[in-house]
């Protein structure tokens, strides 16, 4: 006879709970130290006469080994900092500058707790708390530890803000590689692209302007026979500084184009989901496809701003020059071919994407000088040009030129060169108008 007080289901549930609690009691928390994980070999260091800041953004495997849990699968990425204060007064670290929505240590730990393992979870709480970077840096001292941020893959841009006495403040900007993703730019050895004899050294602004105006108007196909999208971007700055500016504004690097990433692209297209690191098709300049690409996607793969960049065989006052192309994707369509199976449709008003980018990068406080230059050539709305996929576009024919550095520059301090200005009412004119 079955007791009404303890029916079989209740006994079964009780037994399961006891088993789960017993299993949880056997759960152990076993994180590794940084000497075993080895991520410090990748740290980047910035310094001035008073402060030295080192930083590393951990990848998924490093995070799992160091913290003993798959934290990045839950959207949390640890960033390691070491800050040395050689000044005569203390500084305070503002982690909200690294990420306005960073996680507190116990919050990050709670999200990663084991089920029914109270002792292991208490150890995890303590470990996460002990590994947090201390925010107050005394004179002559150094602190090190983690800030628990939201996840970025491929590259992570951070801004380390330190506040001292009175109005004293310091800002250090980083673009940190994140292991675990194969990016298209990883294939390029920038140091060996050109022989020293091939590089043009430009010293003054007028010579730079003349060089920019003589660049080709557009990208081409692999054979160099057909024109593609217009070359409407020029950046002057180191690879690190230019890349950091984009990543800081949540532009994402692109993965290598292969069967796996093509599959992810097609699935995102069919499901209407987003794919932040979707590869871009190759376009050509200087005899090769783009050296790297960046994109800022909306909620679906159909819509994004994206750009391609090439390292040019020229330098301005010793700094690299990057030539590029930007357009805004507004949809995806099937090509009717096997390769590529799908292609994006661009907004024909390509100057709008150029304008958006200029505003976006100015907000990084890394741009210290800018201009517009000739070189693309006008294309009118009623007589547009066409890219390689047959999409029409029109343009005022100008290139955006931005000088990008690593020191913070306020918007009011940016110098605007008086080179060219967009013609008024360009899109209401035709090539027959005066």
What is the set of domains in the chain, with CATH numbers?
31-177 (2.60.40), 184-428 (no CATH)
Identify the pLDDT of residue 278.
74
What are 293's two structure tokens?
């690409």
What are 42's two structure tokens?
């990748």
Identify the pLDDT of residue 302.
57
Residue 352 phi/psi, 5° resolution?
-65, -40
Q: How many residues does this entry show for the chain?
A: 434
The residue ranges of DSSP E strands in 256-410, in sequence order, are 284-285, 288-289, 292-297, 304-316, 319-334, 342-346, 367-374, 385-386, 392-393, 398-404
User: Which of 156-170, 178-192, 220-234, 289-303 shows the highest mean pLDDT?
Assistant: 220-234
Identify the pLDDT of residue 165.
81
pLDDT tier for residue 244 given thresholds of 50, 70 and 90: confident
Q: pLDDT higher for 221 or 15? A: 221
Q: How far apart are CA 265 and CA 164, in angstroms?
A: 47
Q: pLDDT higher for 216 or 258? A: 216
pLDDT tier for residue 390 given thresholds of 50, 70 and 90: confident
On whether the CB atoms of residues 336 and 343 are closer than 8 A, the answer is: no
Identify the pLDDT of residue 276.
66
- For 86-115, write each residue's pLDDT tens digit: 999 999 999 999 999 999 999 999 999 998
Strand partners, 324: 233, 309
* Mean pLDDT taken over the chain: 86
Identify the pLDDT of residue 420.
96
On whether the CB atoms of residues 385 and 394 are closer than 8 A, the answer is: yes
Lowest mean pLDDT of 13-27, 157-171, 254-268, name the range: 13-27
pLDDT tier for residue 338 given thresholds of 50, 70 and 90: very low
pTM of the model: 0.77
pLDDT tier for residue 24 given thresholds of 50, 70 and 90: very low
Relative to beta strand 91-94, strand 319-334 is unpaired
What are 413's two structure tokens?
């301090």
Mean of pLDDT values over 256-261: 68
User: CA-based angle 219:220:222, to the nearest 5?
Assistant: 135
Kindly tell me the sign of the dihedral angle through the C-alpha atoms of 191, 197, 201, 207.
negative
On whether the CB atoms of residues 383 and 393 are closer than 8 A, the answer is: no
């Amino acid at each position: 006879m079955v007791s009404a007080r303890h029916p079989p289901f209740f006994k079964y549930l009780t037994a399961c709970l006891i088993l789960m609690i017993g299993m949880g009691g056997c759960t152990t928390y076993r994180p590794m130290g940084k000497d075993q994980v080895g991520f410090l070999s990748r740290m980047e260091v910035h310094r001035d006469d008073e402060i030295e800041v080192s930083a590393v953004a951990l990848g998924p495997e490093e995070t799992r080994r160091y913290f003993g849990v798959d934290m990045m699968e839950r959207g949390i990425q640890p960033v390691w900092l070491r800050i040395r204060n050689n000044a005569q007064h203390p500084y305070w670290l503002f982690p909200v500058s690294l990420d306005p929505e960073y996680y507190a240590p116990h919050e990050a730990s709670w999200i990663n707790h084991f089920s029914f393992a109270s002792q292991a979870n208490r150890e995890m709480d303590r470990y996460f708390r002990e590994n947090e970077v201390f925010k107050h840096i005394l004179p002559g001292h150094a602190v090190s530890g983690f800030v628990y941020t939201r996840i970025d893959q491929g590259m992570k841009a951070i801004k380390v803000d330190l506040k001292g006495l009175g109005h004293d403040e310091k800002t250090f900007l980083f673009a940190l590689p994140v292991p675990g993703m194969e990016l298209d730019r990883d294939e390029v050895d920038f140091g060996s692209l050109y022989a020293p004899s091939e590089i043009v050294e430009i010293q003054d602004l007028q010579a730079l302007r003349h060089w920019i105006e003589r660049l080709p108007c557009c990208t081409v196909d692999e054979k160099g026979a057909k024109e593609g999208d217009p070359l409407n971007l020029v950046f002057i700055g180191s690879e690190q500084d230019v890349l950091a500016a984009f990543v800081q504004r949540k532009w994402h690097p692109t993965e290598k184009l292969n069967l796996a990433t093509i599959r992810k692209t097609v699935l995102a297209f069919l499901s209407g989901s987003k794919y932040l690191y979707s590869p871009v098709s190759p376009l050509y300049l200087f005899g090769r496809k783009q050296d790297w690409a960046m994109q800022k996607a909306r909620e679906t793969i159909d819509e994004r701003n994206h750009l391609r960049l090439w390292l040019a065989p020229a330098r301005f006052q010793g700094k690299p020059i990057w030539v590029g192309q930007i357009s805004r994707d507004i949809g995806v369509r099937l090509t009717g071919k096997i390769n590529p199976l799908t292609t994006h449709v661009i907004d024909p008003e390509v100057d709008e994407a150029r304008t958006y980018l200029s505003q976006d990068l100015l907000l990084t406080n890394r741009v210290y000088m800018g201009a517009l230059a000739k070189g693309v050539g006008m294309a009118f709305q009623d007589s547009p040009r066409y890219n390689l996929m047959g999409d029409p576009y029109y343009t005022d024919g100008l290139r955006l030129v931005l000088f990008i550095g690593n020191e913070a520059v306020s918007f009011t301090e940016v110098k605007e060169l008086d080179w060219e200005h967009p013609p008024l009412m360009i899109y209401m004119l035709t090539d027959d108008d005066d």
